[in-house]
Amino acid sequence: MANAVTQGSVTSLWRYPVKSMLGEELIASEVTERGLLGDRAYALVDSVDGKAATAKNPRKWPTLFGFSATFLEPPHTGASVPPVRITLPDGATITSQQANINQVLSRALSRTVTLNAAGRADAGAGAVNAEEYWPDMEGLEHRDTVTDFPLPEGTFFDCAMVHVLTTATLDRLHQLYPQGRFEVPRFRPNIVVAPASDEKDFVENAWVGHTLAIGDAVRLSITGPCIRCVMTTLAQGDLPRDPGILRTAAQHNKVSVGVYATVQRGGMIRRGDAVKV
């Protein structure tokens, strides 16, 4: 990376302890071969069909973004995944240590589910499948259909282990659709980069196929664009439902917002770290 060019710096870090629930913002995190330590460590699995619950199919799981999850203690490399505290849409909380966790979550979701940890023997053999609903929108491959997709074996990730997004992309999308709220939580990235310049453009598209150096240790291989789905349009927190979010990405950036990455070399990553390509 001797000739690497500084692209900007890390402005925020995020992990999501339970798949498709709201997550937690971090000041620093260890990065392992499976991304930010503790990311997507758990998922809800439908007891009827064995598929992972995901907000990608809001017809089946309409309230998942009403739940949020945080670890009771920080995860550590080589240790068992720590328990989580889940806040339900009505504000009640429950932890994964409580014996009635599955009953409480099943009642709140009106579907029978179990909370599983990734890679654990009782989480089921092989890859777990999930479902994705594609709205009837120009630019999408499967319009008004639900498709199945496998999660990488032993994980609860949809695709790659790390998702990187720049504020330049969010700013460009907002230019194109000023009434839309293109805010970080809609896109559920792990690493948000503020570019060194004030450029408003899809700058990370040019990183595909290159290595991203973050801080002193972490090296990421940028593998491809992050193709977006209906999740970006859903209401969460104080963000309203807005189909225009996905429509704008489809019209102006081939439905992608941000890029996916795999971990070449792990280490600590911190807010403020320099990002180089």
Per-domain residue ranges for the chain? Answer: 6-276
Q: Is 74 helix (H, G, I), strand (E, B) or coil?
A: coil
CA-wise closest residue to 269 among 17, 36, 25: 36
Looking only at the bridges linking them, the beta strands covering 35-36 and 28-32 are antiparallel
Q: Any residues with CB less than 8 A from the CB of 173 and at least 6 apart, and which? A: 180, 182, 245, 248, 249, 252, 253, 257
Do 274 and 4 form a contact (C-beta atoms < 8 A)?
A: no
Confidence (pLDDT) at 182: 98
Q: What is the DSSP string of 129-177?
A: EEEEEE-S-TT-SSTTEEEEEEPPTT---SS-SEEEEEHHHHHHHHHHS
Give the tokens for residue 173: 């999308």
Residues of the chain with pLDDT under 70: 1-2, 119-127, 131-155, 157-158
Give me the residues paired with residue 44 across strands.
Answer: 115
- Provide the terminal-to-terminal Cα distance of the chain, rounded to the nearest Å: 8
Confidence (pLDDT) at 148: 60
Decide: residue 205, CB within 10 A, 0-12 exposed, 13-18 middle, 19+ buried. middle
- Residue 10 CA to residue 151 CA, distance in Å, equals 28
- Residue 89 CA to residue 80 CA, distance in Å, equals 28
Confidence (pLDDT) at 122: 43
Please say whether the structural domain 6-276 has been given the CATH code 2.40.33.20: yes
Confidence (pLDDT) at 121: 41
Confidence (pLDDT) at 56: 87
Confidence (pLDDT) at 125: 45
DSSP secondary-structure letter at 273? Answer: -
Q: Is 157 helix (H, G, I), strand (E, B) or coil?
A: coil
Confidence (pLDDT) at 147: 57
Confidence (pLDDT) at 154: 66
User: Residue holding tokens 């972490």?
Assistant: 218
pLDDT tens for 113-141 read 999 998 654 444 456 877 665 666 666 66
What is the 3-state composition of the chain as percent helix, strand, coil, each rounded to the nearest 5?
A: 15, 35, 45
Do 57 and 132 form a contact (C-beta atoms < 8 A)?
A: yes
Confidence (pLDDT) at 118: 85
DSSP secondary-structure letter at 204? Answer: G
Decide: residue 212, CB within 10 A, 0-12 exposed, 13-18 middle, 19+ buried. buried
pTM of the model: 0.90
φ, ψ (nearest 5 deg) of residue 195: -60, 155
